[in-house]
Homo-oligomer: A and B are copies of this chain.
């Protein structure tokens, strides 16, 4: 009786495919690629130098990523996944306000630790102008939505102004995005802590004094209703 006939899973002749290897190798390649693309720019980075840096042949890179474009976008995507994961794991505090603060600090911290990732985001936008949405914004929406529950809780407990969640997310998202880019572009080297403090100071408390604030809030109420609230 043929040994293969019964119950034997079709044993491959020859060298078996190693799925593990593929994943491990891909990650190695993306790490190096991200670093080089950030350091030299997309256009100025030949796939050859990525291969050289890894000590492999150019063809090997192309076995894992069909085009230079895919290689680059893979690197950006990997970065966004890391950023997302990093923020998620940092939000450990029991208090929702503290959690928001932790998220902001984590965001800035990630880019402080991985400044080259900002470069990658820029390069993506500049080179792949055809994409409907840059990778960053693919993730951003999902990430921001996580803050709705926190806001809800804060509003319910009377600690947070009752503004539309989306408005707050939009303004905060834009502020962080702008801060991150500005940090990177200008080589701004302020302490992470200070920077987060500044942002929280302005955004949470506002820029106006008590008096001016009261006046402004009253004016807003006046615009919103005929009869002022009691």
Contacts and interface: CB of A to CB of B under 8 A. Distances in A.
A184 to B, nearest CB: 9
A43 B158 CA distance: 53
Contacts of A161: 205-209
Contacts of A115: none
- Summarize A's interface: helix, strand, loop or mixed: helix
Contacts of A126: 41-42, 122-123, 125-127
B205 A204 contact: no
A110 interface: no
Interface residues of A, number: 56
A137 B184 CA distance: 12
Interface string A192-230: 000000110111111111011100110000000000000
Interface in A151-178: 158-161, 163, 167-168, 170-178
Contacts of A207: 160-161, 163, 168, 203-204, 206
B209 A206 contact: no
A216 B160 CA distance: 12
Nearest to A123: B126
A64 interface: no
Contact of A41 (B129, B134, B208): B129
Contacts of A160: 207-209, 212
A179 interface: yes
A182 interface: yes
A59 B13 CA distance: 12
A12 to B, nearest CB: 10
A181 interface: yes
A172 B209 CA distance: 17
15 contacts: A41-B127, A97-B212, A122-B126, A125-B126, A126-B126, A137-B182, A158-B209, A174-B175, A177-B182, A178-B180, A203-B207, A204-B207, A205-B216, A206-B207, A206-B208
